[in-house]
């Protein structure tokens, strides 16, 4: 890309779970309770496959682990998904600002100090409740309403929606994710992808960092400018 084609960085868009705070344990406990109820084996390893996946798709993945195929009506599936959500909502009542992941709010503060926009693109329907308990709602310009979307990650719709709401072109945005499906969604949207976690899981990311503590705005902005 020559300088005449270079894009200015305008926004950074974040996943919530595993990036701003780690709610994976709460999701695990809630899904595990449903799995025990249904007599389906469920492990922390399998729970990794549910990261970044919608509630209904997660339920279908869970049901696929049953020794004998389970046949539920759409209404019954909705009831199971709703029950899981109620368990999860009870668990997240305990979240406080102490549950923010290391370094992430310093990173967000640096982004905002540079005059850039920030947004949340989470598959969670409880994003506002979690962000409120973390006391960081005012640090994000927009939070995409996932209930109004048609497609789930790895489809880029949620990141494209965030960019549009922030008034930025996708090529002017960085996306930050901790799930492979989320990174794929960022790349499909035409954005610069930052992954947090083990590099082996993120072959398509532009940068992979081992933890949120490694997030450095100046360094990422420089890497973005050089791409």
15 given a catalytic annotation: yes
Q: At what angle do helices 55-63 and 24-38 cross, to 10 degrees?
A: 40
Nearest to 177 by CA among 164, 168, 188: 188
71 given a catalytic annotation: no
The strand pairing partners of 176, in sequence order, are: 14, 194
Q: Among the options 15, 178, 184, 206, which is catalytic?
A: 15
- 22 CB-near residues (< 8 Å, 6+ apart): 99, 101
Q: Among the options 17, 178, 184, 206, which is catalytic?
A: 17
Residues in the chain: 227
Q: Which residue shows structure tokens 């949120």?
A: 212
Q: Which residues are catalytic?
A: 15, 17
């Amino acid at each position: 890309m020559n300088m005449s084609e270079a894009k200015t960085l305008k926004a950074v868009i974040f996943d919530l779970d595993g990036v701003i705070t780690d709610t994976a344990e709460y999701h695990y406990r809630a899904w595990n309770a449903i799995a025990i109820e249904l007599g389906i084996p469920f492990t922390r390893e399998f729970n990794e496959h549910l990261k970044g996946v919608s509630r209904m798709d997660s339920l279908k993945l869970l049901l696929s682990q049953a020794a004998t195929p389970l046949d539920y009506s759409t209404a019954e599936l909705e009831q199971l998904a709703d029950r899981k959500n109620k368990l999860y909502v009870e668990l997240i009542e305990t979240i406080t600002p102490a549950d923010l992941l290391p370094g992430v709010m310093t990173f967000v503060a640096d982004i905002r100090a540079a005059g850039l926009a920030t947004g949340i693109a989470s598959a969670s329907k409880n994003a506002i409740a979690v962000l409120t308990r973390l006391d960081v709602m005012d640090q994000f310009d927009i939070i995409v309403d996932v209930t109004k979307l048609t497609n789930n990650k790895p489809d880029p719709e949620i990141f494209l929606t965030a960019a549009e709401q922030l008034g930025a072109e996708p090529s002017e945005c960085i996306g930050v994710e901790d799930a492979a499906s989320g990174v794929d969604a960022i790349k499909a949207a035409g954005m610069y992808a930052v992954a947090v976690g083990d590099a082996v899981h993120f072959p398509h990311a532009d940068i992979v960092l081992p933890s949120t503590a490694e997030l450095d705005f100046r360094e990422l902005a420089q890497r973005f400018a050089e791409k």
